[in-house]
Structures are given as structure tokens and as C-alpha cells.
Amino acid sequence: MDIGFVWDAEKYQEVQRTHNVQFYEVVSAFDDPQGYDDTDPQGHPDRWLYVGQTVTNRVLAIIYIAEGEEFHRLITAYEAEGEILNEYYSGS
């Protein structure tokens, strides 16, 4: 079954403006076979971090909430850097 993605319209506009991230990029990152999930770096127990490379070759850090097996509610997405980027390239 395919996972769907939803994003609050106002939050998405803020992410576009501040991080220059497009919806299609975020969705494409979830197709990255090297991508990985981890716990939310801010410690929210219901949120997850996904790191993956997009169709535009950017590595994004994506915070989301898994809403069952049907869809992910996207919270934010930004260019991965530092430890998150290092983990991505080390294959963790």
C-alpha cells in the first residue's frame, strides 16, 4: 500500500519561504533507498525524523507524524546538515 502525505497549508507556506523546500521534493525523499528514520531530534514522542535524498539531489531532514499506515502528516523539512547529514552519508 502507498503512503499518502498531508501538510497544513500555512505550515507548508512557511517551510517554502524559510527553507525553500517543495512538496514534491519531500515526497521524493521517501523513495530514497539510502534514506533512514530516526526519533525526532526535539524529543516529541509522536514525531519522527526521516532523512533522504530528493529528486533534485538535496538531502532533506523531514519531521513527520505517522498517521497509521495510511499517511504521514508532514511537520517541517529542511536541508540536512551536521550530524544528520553525516549519518546519511555514513549509511546509518
Tell me the per-residue pLDDT of 8-64, one tens digit each, with 9 for 90 and over. Answer: 899 999 999 999 999 999 999 999 999 999 999 999 999 999 999 999 999 999 999
Domain count, the chain: 1
CATH number at residue 59: 3.10.450.530
Rounded CA-CA distance 13/90 in Å is 32
Question: Taking the model in full, what pTM does it have?
Answer: 0.90
Checking if the pLDDT of 78 tops 80, the result is yes
Checking if the pLDDT of 6 tops 50, the result is yes
pLDDT score recorded for residue 1 = 41
Q: Which residue has the cell 512557511?
A: 14
- β-strands 4-7, 71-79 pairing: parallel
Residue 35, domain extent: 4-90
pLDDT score recorded for residue 92 = 55
